[in-house]
Amino acid sequence: MIDRRLVEYFDWWLLLLTVTIAGLGLVVLYSAVNAGGGVHQVGLFTRQLVWYGFGASVMVAVFLVNYKVYERWGHLFYILCIVLLVAVLLHGKYAGGARRWLALGPVSIQPSELVKIAVIIMLARYYARVATPRGLGLRELLTPLLITAVPCILVMRQPDLGTAMMILIIVGCITLYVKIERKTFIALLSSGTLLVPLVWFFLKGYQKQRILTFLNPERDPLGAGYHIIQSKIAIGSGMLTGKGFLRGTQNTLDFLPEQHTDFIFSVLAEEWGFVGAMVVLMFFLLLITWGLQVAQRSRDPFGTILAVGVTIMFTTQVFINIGMVMGLLPVVGVTLPLISYGGSSVLTTMAGIGLLLNVSMRRFLFEK
């Protein structure tokens, strides 16, 4: 029998906020795949509805189980994700110059998306036990380094630099939240700064090209710089109130690349303008603020760090995607949560929402 307090403490506002953003995402996606008289893959909209159905089921399943169960058994989910990443390298679908998708019957999933949740759970388990007011030293950081390194190496082998970078940022922010000793922080920062130039030599040719294009898109306006130039034209042409639903010319004439995934914010800005873009950003800001509030209200260390990690995941993804399409960051293939098309992205985002709901609705268990 369900505890009456679970219903009483259920975070309806968080659920309403999620449904609102998802609804806006479906409207933008409909335009992205239908503008231009059927030029785009219209069936993607229907498939996204199906993925939202699966995502809603995942969200419900995640928040119905007490999140302390994830603390106890989270390592099994982490191991499963590592196995899936290895399977991608061995048997994954090759498309767009990368091997990132794993076919499971009639559907394909992207395990690199799911591993973000697994890493957050593993770090929350570890930091909840070892974090102290004085901060973590180098010895305590060895385990998080191993937890992070294994999936990051496998993801970069696909290659998927954007997701690997996201995992590193999420881990770094969670670690800073639980606090690092000052001398350890200075040592890590100095070492990282010295190693940054060496990263260039390990990047693949197309990854170097993306960075050079980010620094100067006009160096190859019809080649590597074409995508970002067209994206900036779309965003700028929306002006204050936009061109109107299904009337974005950059989208309709098929100038925008990956307009239903990575560059969907460009479609939004062109059709809804500055006002529409700011409304969507405001909803994302509310979601991020609400996630931090869930973490603040939690009295359980694992629940607090878990909520912080999920909120950082959303924040990082929104920041990178919008910075990418505006030319403020290199193009690294990061989707916009609840807006971009993508089954694995939807499942990961809804699982994250489920974790936030879980921590929020069970906060009474630790209240005095």
227-238 confidence digits (pLDDT tens): 788 888 888 888
Other residues' Cβ atoms within 10 Å of the Cβ of residue 13: 12
Rg (CA), the chain: 21
For residue 318, being part of any structural domain is answered with yes
Question: How many domains does the structure of the chain reveal?
Answer: 1
Distance in angstroms (rounded) separating the CA atoms of residues 169 and 328: 17
Side-chain half-sphere exposure of 358, counting CA atoms within 13 A: 27
For residue 367, being part of any structural domain is answered with no
Q: Note the pLDDT of residue 169.
A: 93
What pLDDT, in 10s, does the model give residues 166-188? 999 999 999 999 988 888 888 88
Structure tokens at 220: 């190859």
What pLDDT, in 10s, does the model give residues 25-37? 999 999 888 865 4
pLDDT of 311 above 90: yes
Asked if 310 and 63 touch (Cβ cutoff 8 Å), the reply is no
Q: Is 213 helix (H, G, I), strand (E, B) or coil?
A: helix
Q: Note the pLDDT of residue 39.
A: 47
Other residues' Cβ atoms within 10 Å of the Cβ of residue 355: 27
Greatest CA separation found in the chain?
64
pLDDT of 367 above 70: no
Asked if 272 and 282 touch (Cβ cutoff 8 Å), the reply is no
> For residues 345 and 205, which has the higher predicted lDDT (pLDDT)?
345
Which of 153, 184, 185 has its CA nearest to residue 168? 153
Structural domain range at position 157: 4-362
Q: Where are the beta strands (DSSP E) in the chain?
A: 93-95, 98-104, 107-109
Buried b (16+ CB within 10 A) or exposed e, 163-193: bbbbbebbbbbbbebbebbeebeeeeeeeee
Give me the mean pLDDT over the 250-255 stretch. Answer: 75
Asked if 120 and 139 touch (Cβ cutoff 8 Å), the reply is no
- Please give the full DSSP string across 144-186, using - where no structure is assigned: HHHHHHHHHHHHHTTT-HHHHHHHHHHHHHHHHHH-B-HHHHH
Going across the sheet that includes 98-104, the strands are 93-95, 98-104, 107-109
Q: Note the pLDDT of residue 29.
A: 92
For residue 206, being part of any structural domain is answered with yes
* Confidence (pTM): 0.91
Q: Note the pLDDT of residue 227.
A: 75
Residue 109 pairs with which residues in a beta bridge?
102
What pLDDT, in 10s, does the model give residues 85-138? 999 988 877 766 677 888 877 778 899 999 999 999 999 999 999 888 888 888
